[in-house]
Amino acid sequence: MRLLAVVSKLTGVSTTVESSAVTLNAPSIVKLSVAREEISQLTRINQDLVVRLHSGETITIKNFYVTNDLGASQLVLAENDGTLWWVENPQAGLHFEQIADINELLVTSGASHEAGGAVWPWVLAGAVAAGG
* Residue with more model confidence, 18 or 127: 18
- Helix/strand/coil for 54: coil
Which phi and psi (to 5°) does residue 106 adopt? -80, -40
Whether pLDDT at 120 is above 50: no
Amino acid at 14: S
Residues in the chain: 132
pTM above 0.85, yes or no: no
Q: Which residues of 12-29 are buried (b: 16+ CB within 10 A; e: fewer)?
A: eeeeeeeeeebebeebbb
* Residue with more model confidence, 24 or 113: 24
Whether pLDDT at 127 is above 80: no
Per the CB < 8 A criterion, the answer to whether 44 and 66 are in contact is: no
pLDDT in tens, 49-94: 999 999 999 999 999 999 888 888 999 999 999 999 999 888 777 8
* Residue with more model confidence, 123 or 1: 1
